Amino acid sequence: MSANAGLDPVAPLEPPVPTQKPIKTTGLHVGDAEPGCRKVDPILVVDKVRRSFGGLTAVDVDHLEVPRGAITALIGPNGAGKTTLFNLLTGFDKPNDGKWMFDGRSLAGMPAYRVARMGQIRTFQLTKALGLLSVMDNMLLGAKGQTGENMFRALLPFLWRTQEEANRAKALDLLTRFKLDTKKDDYAASLSGGQRKLLEMARALMSDPTLVMLDEPMAGVNPALTQSLLDHILNLKSQGMTVLFVEHDMHMVRHIADWVIVMAEGKVVAEGDPHEVMKNPAVIDAYLGQHHDEDIGQDPGAETEHVSAIKELLDDER
Amino acid sequence: MQPTPTAQRYIPRMLAILFVTLLAALTMATFSVSSAHADEVGTEFDFTISGNVQFNGDALDGVAIAVDGNGYQADTVTDTEGRWAIGVPEKGTYEVTLDEETLPKGVVVAKGANVINAEFGLTDRKSVNFFLGEDTRNTVSFFDQFVNRFVNGLNFGLLLALAAIGLSLIFGTTGLSNFAHAEMITFGALMTLVFAVQLGLPIWLAILIAIALSGALGWGLDAVIWKPLRRRGVALIPLMIVSIGLSLALRYLFQYFFGGSTSQLPGAGQTDLKFGPISLSPIDLISMGISVVVLLGVAYFLLRTRIGKATRAVSDNPSLASASGIDVDNVIRIVWVTGAALAGLSGVLWAYFRPGVSWDMGFQMLLLVFAAVTLGGLGTAFGALIGSIIVGLFVELSTLWLPSDMKYVGALVVLILVLLFRPQGIMGRKERIG
Amino acid sequence: MDWEAIFNNAAVELISPTTAAYALAALGLAVHFGYTGLLNFGQAGFMALGAYGYAISILTFGFPVWGAFLVGVGASVVFALILGIPTLRLRADYLAIVTIAAAEIVRLLFTTNTFASVTGSANGLSGYKNGFAALNPLAEGSYGFGPFENNAYDTWLRIVAWSIVILAALFVWQVMRSPWGRVIKGIREDEDAVRALGKNVYAYKMQSLILGGVFGTIAGMIFALPRAVVPSNYQTTLTFFIYAILLLGGAATVLGPIIGSMIFWVLLSFFSGFVSRAVEAGWLPFMTTIQGGQLRFILVGVAIMLIVIFRPQGVFGNKKELAFVR
């Protein structure tokens, strides 16, 4: 997941601010706020997770704990390995080695769909609204444990009709909250980029998750919608869910995050309170030491090979 | 669907009627490329003894077969597809005899096996097949056969590689799985046939013209179909289905103009030269030489020339290549021309290897080309080369253990097995999800 | 020119068992390609397994009709598992290559002389129809009217064939409007998104592959009942024609494959009837009757291209629902 050049958040004139004043959760960690520090009540514990593509190590996290019931931001320069870490933690990619626990249960080697069933739901940086399904169908797909999702039971509507109606009511409720209820019968493809982000988040909530992982929820969203998105994220916390999100926009991070984890070159380089962590020299180094502006491509190996091929090419030209 | 030439000369009128009926039957039946026998006897009976006389996968026509039993006698000869059928009045046991005198030179029936006692089972049809061998078969040791097959497989692999590299480059630069590549292969062979046989040009000149025309065909297809579709932003799977439609249309267009028969290019079927255990015709040697030289040329083009490097850059990442000042459309055009020219050459060599030029010869080879490209790793030119050699060797060497009419089965099974254990192919990179 | 005969022959195709067989095979492909986004290029292999499974069970093992039917269906389930296990985790085009290769393997195994005693090699099999004919409840005689008039066996065959097609269509219609169908369509749109919602995408794809494959297999049996089983009928080209029918009718529709098959066969019959008579009448002096026969295959190819480019939703597809996976 990359190439976000065209999707960077449109810089608003004034930084987006949630409509209500966020109540920050404090006292999350034990001891000093250093990389890999222990948390009072961690929901996700990562140990020695490493992933390399060809010769390039994309993620090499020694130890990381994500606090329960709080909003944690995962930040870092482009190519720091944030999305790769997301993919690893949610079962969308396999690490070379390492293990991690969610709610005390090991997730290593577990396929993505089982991770999701355990209550750890993710969204994607490039939204994955199911374009040719209606908005309502998108929502209904999110519901867990549906009887009618078995092929043979699907033939007998009376077995799943009641459950379907309940899911439909729940979906409509969520859609109303996300102001998408008027669009429920439209194809998801007809929604704007921001509305798709909202739909994806609403869809994730259909399964009553315990941990919501949002990959750049603000990327490509119209500024008018950012505020409501921020509100929704804060609401997740007030409803008792844990949020882990990747974000580039520092204003937003400062406003809503209770805890910030900074990654650079695949490693966790700093952790802490959002206001404190920004002053950390390691963070400033990480952002300034960035080699290039564009995100690293689908396959870093290919990219370096490619860059060298182009360099050769240009050398020939001279 | 094609009459034998002799039959056409003698009974044109009856044939016309036969074909109208056949067409009607086909509409109700199915699209099959091969069909009825030109020469069936005893069609008035309900029970049929039939067979297929082939040697090393080549149909043998004009072989006389006789049936005798239950007070009934009949004989026939095989058609151009090597098939024969004799209707018999009742179920029972018949003595089927193959007349060894009518076999082509160098082909014999295994000792004493030219007479077979055929007994009907539950069906109304009984297949009788004779096991044919090379005259010298008994004297060839396993090792010698192995070496011989190996060299043949190398030859086949090299000509396969010519087509596979083109297919792979097109896939790499445009993402298209081009099913019409088969027809670009056939086109090269057909054009050689036209210029060498029908217009009587020297064979080397005919081949050069055919390759040039193949390149022009590639250019034309890109300009008329693929470039406009890229501009419209048509997704890859619809593009692939368009190429299937194009493949069908071109294939039957070839059949429309050239008919369903197989013709030989000049020089085909020369006697083999012996190099120890290896027997190769001069054409085989020239074919391998041409393949190696052309493949080296392609390697030089990809590794050393500016445009070749640009091609690899586009293959890796078109948008990045475009951003760094490479004219992607130009690169793709060159890839189409090169790919088509290579496919055309491959078709010429394939026509000598099979041997023979026919309207669906490219389609017969297409799956092996796809197998080679997938084995090597989709979109990598050098992977395609290695994949081709593996497929070529596998097809030929498997005939040591498998009957020759199953030689493609082995290669295709290997394809599926490789995908099972190494889905990115032999040279491909692992994919990243997410 | 005998227009009446041309129209009559074309009308016969409207409800012929072959049309039913192609409709059912196309319905199976609709489940694969239109609804799930699976690129199955091996439908001809599934059909061959149906035809041979049925014929061999009866001829070699003396099974009753229902036993032969189950053997065919069982063979295609096994075939779908063999195809699906290595490829359904991979990118879509790998399934395309593996299915096309596997269908060819099946055809070559049925063609080879090695198993001639069971498969009849290139000559195929016949004489397996008695069991099916014995089930015919219709008395001897002629049924129907005009071009649709048939003898008892042919009428019985048509009734069975089209009943199966209608049942299969109802089945697809019902499952596709259920939560199961929603997951299936979601997978077509973006399988990672569906996976992230806790659905076992791999299992769903496998179910879809088996379901569509079983339809293909039953289609192969229907296809075999009015004729003999000959391996050359089950070439890759057969799969391509079924794709043509599917695209014609609309890939993600229930009625599309059925109406597509009817249109395809009626038009094809009309066209070949017209061309062959026009050639005989000397209207097309530059063409022989054989060439006239080939002309329609050229047109099928061109039609596939034009439909995909200009009307990707097919004749009956919803304009918005362009049923193509990326």
Query: B3 in helix, strand or coil?
Result: coil
pLDDT computed for residue C96 by the predictor = 86
Residue C64 banded pLDDT, cuts 50, 70, 90: very high
Query: Which token pair is B39?
Result: 């020469």
Name the percent of chain C lying above pLDDT 70: 96
Between B317 and C319, residue with greater pLDDT: B317
From the list A85, A219, A194, the residue with the least C-alpha distance to A129 is A194
Query: A58 in helix, strand or coil?
Result: strand
> What are the pLDDT tens digits along chain A (318 aa)?
344 444 444 444 455 666 667 778 877 887 777 888 888 889 999 999 998 876 778 899 999 999 999 999 998 888 788 888 999 999 988 898 899 999 888 988 899 999 999 999 999 988 888 888 999 999 999 999 899 999 999 999 999 999 999 999 999 999 999 989 999 999 898 888 888 888 999 999 999 999 999 998 888 777 778 888 888 899 999 999 999 999 877 777 888 899 999 988 888 988 988 888 877 888 777 776 654 444 444 444 444 544 444 444 444 433
From the list C288, C245, C280, C282, the residue with the least C-alpha distance to C265 is C245
- Residue for token pair 């097809």: B395
Residue B251 banded pLDDT, cuts 50, 70, 90: very high
- pLDDT tens digits, one per residue of B167-213: 999 998 888 889 999 999 999 999 999 999 989 999 999 999 999 99
Chain C residues in contact with B246 by the CB 8 A cut-off are 301, 305
From the list C266, C249, C239, the residue with the least C-alpha distance to C307 is C249
- For residues C21 and C161, the answer to whether their CB atoms sit within 8 Å is yes
Q: Matching CATH topology for B31-138 and B142-421?
A: no
What is the C-alpha R_g of chain A? 20
Smallest Cβ distance to A310: which of B313, B429, B430?
B313
Distance CA A282, CA A264 (A): 9
- Sign of the Cα pseudo-torsion (C181, C185, C191, C192, in order): negative
| Helix (H), strand (E) counts: chain A | 11, 10
Secondary structure element (H or E) that encloses residue B50, with its range: strand B47-52
Q: Is the pLDDT of residue B10 over 80?
A: no
- Sign of the Cα pseudo-torsion (C136, C137, C140, C141, in order): negative
Rounded (10°) CA dihedral C94, C97, C99, C104? -160
Distance CA B148, CA B396 (A): 9
- For residues B393 and B150, the answer to whether their CB atoms sit within 8 Å is yes
Q: Which residue of C has its CA nearest to B410?
A: C105
List B residues 32-61 in contact with A (Cβ-Cβ < 8 A): none
How many angstroms separate the CA of residue B296 from the nearest CA in chain C? Answer: 28
How many angstroms separate the CA of residue C153 from the nearest CA in chain A? Answer: 33
Distance CA B254, CA B262 (A): 12
The predicted model gives C172-199 an average pLDDT of 94
Distance CA A49, CA B397 (A): 46
Q: Is the pLDDT of residue C66 over 90?
A: yes
pLDDT computed for residue B108 by the predictor = 74
Residue B232 banded pLDDT, cuts 50, 70, 90: confident
Beta bridge partners of C143: C150
Q: Do C194 and A121 touch (CB under 8 A)?
A: no
Smallest Cβ distance to C201: which of A113, A117, A153?
A113
- For residues B185 and B404, the answer to whether their CB atoms sit within 8 Å is no
Q: Is the pLDDT of residue B156 over 80?
A: yes
In three state form, how does the secondary structure of B337-402 look? HHHHHHHHHHHHHHHHHCCCECCCHHHHHHHHHHHHHHHHCCCCHHHHHHHHHHHHHHHHHHHHCC
pLDDT computed for residue C325 by the predictor = 37
pLDDT computed for residue B209 by the predictor = 96
Task: Look over chain B and give the mean of its residue pLDDT values, rounded to a whole number.
Answer: 81
How many angstroms separate the CA of residue C189 from the nearest CA in chain B? Answer: 13
Distance CA A233, CA A72 (A): 11
Best mutation target among A306, A307, A308, A312 (most B Cβ atoms within 10 Å) is A306
Q: Is the pLDDT of residue C149 over 50?
A: yes
Say whether residue B25 is in contact with chain C using an 8 A CB cutoff. Answer: no
Q: Do A151 and C211 touch (CB under 8 A)?
A: yes
Say whether residue A102 is in contact with chain C using an 8 A CB cutoff. Answer: no
pLDDT computed for residue C321 by the predictor = 53
Beta bridge partners of B133: B108
Please give the class, per CATH, of domain B31-138.
mainly beta
- State the Cα angle at B297 between B322 and B209, rounded to 5°: 95
Query: Which token pair is A45?
Result: 């514990």
Chain B residues in contact with C158 by the CB 8 A cut-off are none
In this prediction, the answer to ipTM > 0.90 reads no
pLDDT computed for residue B288 by the predictor = 93
Secondary structure element (H or E) that encloses residue B66, with its range: strand B64-69
- pLDDT tens digits, one per residue of C230-277: 999 999 999 999 999 998 888 888 999 999 999 999 999 998 888 888
Distances (CA, A) of B68 to B49, B111, B116: 11, 20, 11
Between C114 and C53, residue with greater pLDDT: C53
- Determine which of A152-156, B60-64, B118-122 has the lowest per-residue pLDDT on average: B118-122
**Domains (range + CATH), chain A:** 12-129+209-298 (3.40.50.300), 131-190 (no CATH)
Q: Peptide bond before C285: cis, by omega within 30 degrees of 0?
A: no
- pLDDT tens digits, one per residue of C271-299: 888 888 888 888 877 778 778 778 888 98
Smallest Cβ distance to B33: which of C114, C232, C292?
C232
List A residues 107-166 in contact with C (Cβ-Cβ < 8 A): 111-114, 116-117, 121-124, 128-133, 137-138, 140-142, 144, 146-151, 153-155, 157, 160, 164
Give partners of B (≥3 CB pairs < 8 A): A, C
Chain A residues in contact with B312 by the CB 8 A cut-off are 309
- For residues A268 and A102, the answer to whether their CB atoms sit within 8 Å is no
Query: Which token pair is C78?
Result: 């096994």
Between C63 and B280, residue with greater pLDDT: C63
Q: Do C192 and A131 touch (CB under 8 A)?
A: no
Residue C31 banded pLDDT, cuts 50, 70, 90: very high
pTM of structure = 0.80
Beta bridge partners of B54: B59
Distance CA A26, CA C78 (A): 58
The predicted model gives B20-42 an average pLDDT of 43
Query: Which token pair is C11?
Result: 């009308």
Say whether residue B259 is in contact with chain C using an 8 A CB cutoff. Answer: yes
Best mutation target among C304, C306, C310 (most B Cβ atoms within 10 Å) is C304
Exposure string of B22-31, with b = 16+ CB inside 10 Å and e = fewer, is bbbebbbbbb
Distance CA B362, CA C101 (A): 16
pLDDT computed for residue B33 by the predictor = 35
pLDDT computed for residue A119 by the predictor = 92
pLDDT computed for residue A249 by the predictor = 74
Chain A residues in contact with B433 by the CB 8 A cut-off are 87, 92-93
Q: Is the pLDDT of residue B414 over 90?
A: no
Q: Give chain C's end-to-end CA distance (angstroms, integer).
A: 48
- pLDDT tens digits, one per residue of B275-321: 777 778 888 899 999 999 999 999 999 888 888 888 888 887 777 78
- The burial of B404, by beta-carbon neighbours within 10 Å (0-12 exposed, 13-18 middle, 19 or more buried), is given as middle
Exposure string of B224-235, with b = 16+ CB inside 10 Å and e = fewer, is ebbbebbeeebe
Q: Is the pLDDT of residue B430 over 70?
A: no
Distance CA B131, CA C113 (A): 10
Distance CA B379, CA B428 (A): 8
- The arrangement of secondary structure in B142-421, i.e. its CATH architecture, is Orthogonal Bundle (1.10)
How many angstroms separate the CA of residue C186 from the nearest CA in chain A? Answer: 6
The predicted model gives C207-236 an average pLDDT of 94
Task: Look over chain C and give the mean of its residue pLDDT values, rounded to a whole number.
Answer: 89
pLDDT computed for residue C121 by the predictor = 82
Distance CA C22, CA C222 (A): 9
Chain C residues in contact with A90 by the CB 8 A cut-off are 196
- For residues C246 and C304, the answer to whether their CB atoms sit within 8 Å is no
- Show me where the domains of chain B are located: 31-138, 142-421
